[in-house]
Amino acid sequence: MCGIVGFVGKDHAKEKIIDGLKRLEYRGYDSAGIALPINGKIEIRKHVGEIRNLEKIIGDPDFDSSMGIGHTRWATHGVPSDVNAHPHANEDNTIAIVHNGIIENYQELKEWLAAEKHVTFKSDTDSEVIAHLIGVFYEGDLLQAVNKAVAQMRGAYAVCAIAAAEPDKIVAVRKDAPLVAGIGKGFNFIASDIPALLKYVREVYLIENNETVVLTKDDITIYNGEGKKVKRDVFHVTWDADAAEKEGYEHFMLKEIHEQPKGIYETLTRRLNDDGSINLDGISMTKEDIEGFNKVYIVACGTAYHAGLVGKMVIEKMAKIPVEVDVASEFRYRDPFVDEKTLFIAISQSGETLDTLAALREAKRKGARILSVVNVVGSSVARESDDVFYTWAGPEIAVASTKAYTTQLICMYLIGLYMGSTKGTIEKDYYDKILDELKALPDKVEKLLEKENSIAALAKRYYRREQVFFIGRGLDSGVSYEGSLKLKEISYINSFAIAAGELKHGTIALMEEETLVFALATQDFLYEKMVSNVEEIKARGARVIGVAKEGKTEIESVADEVIYIPYCIDEVSPVLAVIPLQIFAYYVAKERGCNIDKPKNLAKSVTVE
25 has a pLDDT exceeding 80 = no
What SS3 state is found at 154? coil
539 pLDDT tier (thresholds 50, 70, 90): confident
Q: What backbone phi and psi angles, to 5 degrees, belong to 424?
A: 85, 25
Half-sphere exposure of 422 (CA within 13 A, CB side): 21
Q: Has residue 606 got a pLDDT over 80?
A: no
* Model pLDDT, residue 242: 66
- pLDDT for 563 beyond 90: yes
Tens-place pLDDT, residues 244-258: 678 789 999 999 999
Per-residue pLDDT band at 201 (split at 50, 70, 90): very high
Most confident of 17-26, 226-235, 308-317: 308-317
For position 230, what pLDDT does the model report? 95
Angle at CA of residue 82, ends 81 and 83, nearest 5°: 90
Over 60: is that where the pLDDT of 609 sits? no
Report DSSP letters for 541-588, one per residue. Answer: T-EEEEEEETT-GGGGGT-SEEEEEPP--GGGHHHHHHHHHHHHHHHH
131: helix, strand or coil? helix
Q: At what angle do helices 452-462 and 573-591 cross, to 10 degrees?
A: 50
pLDDT tens-digit map of 161-191: 999 999 999 999 999 788 999 999 999 999 9
* Residue of 41, 217, 317, 604 marked catalytic: 604
Report pLDDT digits (tens) over 100-144.
Answer: 988 989 999 999 999 999 999 999 999 999 999 999 999 999 999
604 is a catalytic site residue: yes
pLDDT at 608 over 60: no
**pLDDT beyond 60 at 239:** yes
Residues in the chain: 609
**Which pLDDT score is estimated for 511?**
77
List, in order, residues 6 or more apart from 549 with CB less than 8 Å away.
522, 524, 564, 565, 566, 567, 568, 573
Per-residue model confidence as pLDDT tens digits over 449-508: 999 999 999 999 999 998 999 999 999 999 999 999 999 999 999 999 998 888 778 887
- pLDDT number for residue 392: 85
Q: What percent of the chain has pLDDT over 90?
A: 74
Confidence at residue 282, expressed as pLDDT on a 0 to 100 scale: 74
Q: How high is the pLDDT of residue 503?
A: 76
Amino acid letter for position 262 = K
Model confidence at 369, pLDDT cuts 50, 70, 90, reads: very high
Catalytic pick from 2, 301, 411, 594?
Answer: 2
Rounded Cα distance, 297 and 304, in Å: 13
In terms of pLDDT, which residue wins out, 575 or 208?
Answer: 575
CA dist., res. 73 & res. 52, Å (int): 14
3-state secondary structure 179-236: CEEEECCCCEEEECCHHHCCCCCCEEEECCCCEEEEECCCCEEEECCCCCEECCCCEE
Q: Is 415 helix (H, G, I), strand (E, B) or coil?
A: helix
* pLDDT at residue number 241: 67
d(CA 331, CA 339): 14
User: How far is C-alpha 182 from the chain's CA centre?
Assistant: 27
pLDDT tens-digit map of 274-293: 888 998 877 889 999 999 99
Cα Dmax for the chain: 81
pLDDT band at 607 (very low <50, low <70, confident <90, very high): very low
Which pLDDT belongs to residue 122? 93
pLDDT of residue 220: 97
Give the mean pLDDT of 351-362. Answer: 89
What pLDDT digit, counting tens, does each position of 415-463 carry?
999 999 999 999 999 999 999 999 999 999 999 999 999 999 999 999 9
